[in-house]
Amino acid sequence: MIEVKNVSKKFDSLIVLDNVSFSVGDARLIVILGPSGTGKTVLLKAILGLTPVDSGEVLFDGKSIQAIDESEIYEIRKNIGFVFQGTALFDSMNVLDNIALPIVEHTSASTSEVKDKVVQILEIIGMSGKEKLYPRSLSGGMKRLVAVGRALALDPKYLFYDEPTTGLDPIMRDRVVNLIIDLKKKYAKSGIVVTHDLDTAKAVGDEIYMLKKGKISKVRQIRKEVYNG
Amino acid sequence: MNLFSLIGDFSVFFFRSLFISWKIKTTKWRILEQVYHIGIGSLPIIIVIAIFTGLVSIVQTSYQLIGTVPRYILGTTLGRMVMIELGPILTALMVSGRCASSMAAEIGTMRVTEQIDALEVMAIDPYRFLNLPRIIGIFIALPILTVISEFVALICGAVYAHYFLDVPFSVFNYGLTHYFYAKDFFGGLIKSLFFALVIAASGCYFGFKVKGGAKEVGKAATYAVVTASILILVLDFLVALVIFG
């Protein structure tokens, strides 16, 4: 379980997160909704320990990441897959190497075992046969799928998605949304989806929170006028 | 950032990159990749530079010395000049121009496209993954390039002396070997080891610290080359002072 407790963060005088609290239970997808530039990505990075917080704490299965050293944070991160908004795929590596990297780095799997695992992941994300392609020859949607595949490499307990459907055409958007739902239902992946897209939020979220002016609040019913206002 | 905090930050960054768990099983391939990229990749330009270093040096030396000293002194002078100074420093400056900038640009681009954050999220230490192979790779490649450069410069100098200055190979070789001191050769190599460290550290440091976009990546590449070049010259003096002073 992930618990975010009273997390605050400001950049100079700009308050980005103001006493933000929520939790992510097992096999639950939490959506953080909010207009662009409200600090949703900062929140995700704060949860991962990539951005230090000014106050509050984040607990992974009861362990506060503010109270542990870097090596322990790395151990926790092995249980988290992160899909970056810009995908952050390694452009010098092909699809196979991108997905294989965490497996090679953190397990003692043989070359053939690594390849089998990557092939299996590519089947899950619907990208079979694309192992040899480089990110530069993939469309935006395909890159997003490969980023999800790389996040799955270590079979993490949690998946974080940062704007997973932004900039995608409707068909690819549905494909990514269905993949997120499948991963939760079939593989019991809990996680957080950060988005400003109302349709994505409604489709994937078990619980939806709105982040606005640093404050977070639970949304019971999404209404466009509330979101825009 | 003032000069002292920059030096402090640079030093911490360098030691943080080197004194970590090497995880040699996975890192060795990345080190070999860097040795190949730096070593083989820089070889053509190093050979070109070495050819002209040898030629210019022998022309200048003969202009200043022929007629006043025995001809074998050409071999002695060229040998010591190339091994102590010209080989190590020109090779290092060329590799700095080629590699420090590419390291800074590559790592800087990875920083602005969140690829370094991606490594952190995957629990992969970016200092080990990105910096360590580059530091070790250049530490292996630069001394080898320096020896090749010295060899090529001496050969070219000897050939020019033989055909254009009427100094037979045997006479040139006598001057080169009779006054050969191992200290000259190894002193030059020790210099190149220090140069390797500052080239890699500058490239990685300025790449890592990039914030922003393409413009900042370009600036990082420039800072990396300028810093590495200045540090090479400073270290050249300090190491020379210790070894030959």
- Per residue in B117-176, pLDDT (tens digit) is 999 999 999 999 999 999 999 999 999 999 999 999 999 999 999 999 999 999 999 999
C-alpha distance across the termini of chain A, in Å: 32
Alpha-carbon distance B82 to B84, whole Å? 6
Check: CB of residue A158 under 8 Å from CB of residue A48.
Answer: no
The tokens describing B32, both together, are 């070999």
Mean pLDDT of A9-17: 91
Check: CB of residue A61 under 8 Å from CB of residue A1.
Answer: yes
Would an 8 Å CB–CB cutoff place A84 in contact with chain B? yes
pLDDT exceeds cutoff 60 at A19 = yes
Alpha-carbon distance B225 to B222, whole Å? 5
- Top-confidence residue, B107 or A228: B107
Q: How confident is the model at residue A129 (pLDDT cuts 50, 70, 90)?
A: very high
Which positions in chain A touch B103 (Cβ < 8 Å)?
Answer: none
Check: CB of residue A227 under 8 Å from CB of residue A198.
Answer: yes
Mutate to test the interface with A, among B121, B132, B134 (most CBs of A within 10 A): B121
* pLDDT given for residue A222 in this prediction: 64
Q: How confident is the model at residue A227 (pLDDT cuts 50, 70, 90)?
A: low
Measure B172 CA to nearest chain A CA, in Å.
Answer: 49
Which positions in chain B touch A89 (Cβ < 8 Å)?
Answer: 115, 118
pLDDT exceeds cutoff 70 at A215 = yes
Mean pLDDT of A102-109: 94
Domain-embedded: residue A93: no
Q: What is the full DSSP assignment across A183-203?
A: HHHHH--EEEEEES-HHHHHH
Total structural domains within chain A: 1
Cβ separation B124–A102 shorter than 8 A: yes
Question: Coil, strand or helix: which one is B202?
Answer: helix
pLDDT exceeds cutoff 80 at A75 = yes
Mean pLDDT of A29-41: 90
Interface of B with A (CB under 8 A): 23, 26, 110, 113-115, 117-118, 120-125, 129
* A61 C-beta neighbours (distance < 10 Å), count: 10
Residues 6 or more apart whose CB falls under 8 angstroms from that of A151 comprise A81, A82, A83, A159, A160
Q: Residue A68 belongs to what domain range?
A: 1-76+190-229
How do strand A190-195 and strand A158-162 relate by DSSP bridges? parallel
Domain-embedded: residue A120: no
The CATH number of the domain holding residue A67 is 3.40.50.300
Q: What is the full DSSP assignment across A38-82?
A: SSHHHHHHHHHTSS--SEEEEEETTEETTSS-HHHHHHHHTTEEE
Domain-embedded: residue A129: no
Which positions in chain A touch B112 (Cβ < 8 Å)?
Answer: none
Which DSSP symbol is given to A76? H
Cβ separation B117–A102 shorter than 8 A: no
Nearest by Cα to A191 from A22, A74, A68:
A22
Alpha-carbon distance A126 to B110, whole Å? 27
Q: How confident is the model at residue A224 (pLDDT cuts 50, 70, 90)?
A: low
Residues 6 or more apart whose CB falls under 8 angstroms from that of A198 comprise A33, A222, A224, A227
- The DSSP H or E segment spanning A83 is strand A80-83
* pLDDT given for residue A86 in this prediction: 92
The question of ipTM being above 0.85 is answered as: yes
Q: How confident is the model at residue B37 (pLDDT cuts 50, 70, 90)?
A: very high
Alpha-carbon distance A93 to A171, whole Å? 27
Residue from the list A45, A91, A101 with its beta carbon closest to the beta carbon of B122? A101
Measure A20 CA to nearest chain B CA, in Å.
Answer: 22
Residue from the list B26, B114, B121 with its beta carbon closest to the beta carbon of A77? B121
Would an 8 Å CB–CB cutoff place A77 in contact with chain B? yes
Measure A203 CA to nearest chain B CA, in Å.
Answer: 26
* pLDDT given for residue A221 in this prediction: 67
Q: At residue A122, what is the residue type?
A: L
Mean pLDDT of A218-224: 71
Alpha-carbon distance B57 to B51, whole Å? 10
pLDDT exceeds cutoff 60 at A226 = no
Residue from the list A48, A75, A104 with its beta carbon closest to the beta carbon of B26? A104
* pLDDT given for residue A35 in this prediction: 85
| Mean of the per-residue pLDDT values of chain A | 91
pLDDT exceeds cutoff 60 at B10 = yes
Cβ separation A82–B121 shorter than 8 A: yes
Domain-embedded: residue A184: no
Cβ separation B118–A90 shorter than 8 A: yes
